[in-house]
Amino acid sequence: MRFLVSREKLCEAVTNLSRAVATKATFPVLEGIHMTATKDGLKMMAYNLEVGMTKTIDITCAEEGSIVFKAKLLGDILRSLSGETVSFEVNDRLVCKIKSESTMFDIMGMPAEDFPEMPTIDDCERIIFPCETLKSMVRQTVFACAAADAQKPILTGLLFDIAEDSVKIVGVDGFRLAVRKENIRLGKNISFVVSAKTIAEAVKIIGDNDENIEFFIGRRHIALEVGGYSIISRKIEGEFINYKKIMPSSYATTAVANSRELVSIIERISLIINDQIKTTMRCKITNEDITFSCATAVGKVTDVYKTEITGDEFEIGINNRFLTDALRACETDDITVNFNGPFSSIIILPKEGDDFIYMLMPMRLKAE
């Protein structure tokens, strides 16, 4: 296999494909990127048995062939080179000469036939999604999904709830919930759950000139195409929470707030809270203000936020990190924070409209 390629284009492709490469895999080939050089271009694949990604770039091919390279090593080499072009020459023993200007590496590759076959999608639904809208909606919901190693896989995914004239993306981890709504018409009525990590990595690939991202929804897999990349992932099976049913229809207490001002207060409170000292933040709500406080082994802090509040007075415990995540995700300064007493969930809404809903479960307060 022999070919010449732009170092910048190959480096960009390797960086993006590395998002689908396994780390510390049982089979070393899963830590690699599969490359096939032909007259039509260099087809590159990464697949960690859960998420796969492909990309084809232009090359000058002198001899066709296939090989697998360790993704991290290849990326490090390409970033270290200074030339505009890079030549690859692979012999029968899978030793590859990588040369750019005066620099030359000899590295071992892996057999292409050891690389697993990526799944394909048949009989699929096609949806075209505006890129900027998807980026915004994912950013405002992905933080509420459970970690990849959660006991309930369904909680590690984002729900796409698509109606004729609106789209909702929902994330939940059992302690908090995020719903983002957009009034766009995609012409479909369909719901599916896909790995939050897959979607988060996909939106990172979106370039400044990319207007749309295509979804292909099959029975068991979902594929996304954007910027010349194709990403495929298994759908997450299971019953997603009925988020519409758990939303309260009225509130006993409502506080008008500025999201950025609240973030500043909670960041100050959080200075005495860390992973080793997990202490609930107290919020005492009156008709005039909200008093935030916390006491740990490090010390004690209190801050008062004066604002317009209507309804009952009470004290509630809130996870400081969960509240900060929700407030930072708000794409508006003007919000309302709504309560139904100390033992019911906290609901954050925009002051006007219904573009997003954030729900947090209260935390248990210990006697001071």
Q: Nearest to residue 144, comparing CAs of 169, 170, 171?
A: 171
Q: State the pLDDT at residue 283.
A: 96
The residue whose two tokens read 């005039």 is 288
**Beta-bridge partners for 350:** 335
pTM of the model: 0.90
Three-state SS sequence of 277-302: CCCCEEEEECCCEEEEEEECCCCEEE
Strands (E), 164-297: 167-172, 176-182, 190-195, 212-217, 221-226, 229-234, 253-258, 281-285, 289-295
pLDDT 10s digits, 164-174: 889 999 999 99
**Beta-bridge partners for 133:** none
How many angstroms separate the CA atoms of 229 and 206, rounded? 9
Q: State the pLDDT at residue 318.
A: 96
**Beta-bridge partners for 88:** 3, 98
Contact (Cβ atoms closer than 8 angstroms) between residue 289 and residue 304:
yes
Question: From edge to edge, which strands make up the β-sheet containing 281-285?
Answer: 300-306, 289-295, 281-285, 314-318
Task: Enter the DSSP assignment of 119.
Answer: P
Q: State the pLDDT at residue 66.
A: 97
pLDDT 10s digits, 307-357: 999 999 999 999 999 999 999 999 899 999 999 999 999 999 999 988 999
How many angstroms separate the CA atoms of 346 and 362, rounded? 7
Q: State the pLDDT at residue 151.
A: 85
CA 257, 263, 268, 271 dihedral sign is positive
Q: State the pLDDT at residue 367.
A: 66
Per-residue pLDDT tens listing for the chain (368 residues): 999 999 999 999 999 999 999 988 889 999 999 999 999 999 999 999 989 999 999 999 999 999 999 999 999 999 999 999 999 999 999 999 999 999 999 999 999 999 999 998 878 899 999 999 999 999 999 999 998 877 899 999 999 999 988 999 999 999 999 999 999 998 889 999 999 999 999 999 998 889 999 999 999 999 999 999 999 999 999 999 999 999 998 999 999 999 999 999 999 999 998 777 678 999 999 999 999 999 988 899 999 999 999 999 999 999 999 999 999 999 899 999 999 999 999 999 999 988 999 999 999 887 65
Phi, psi of 44 (to 5 degrees): -120, 140
What is the token pair recorded at 262? 């609240």
How many angstroms separate the CA atoms of 32 and 157, rounded? 26
How many angstroms separate the CA atoms of 260 and 257, rounded? 9
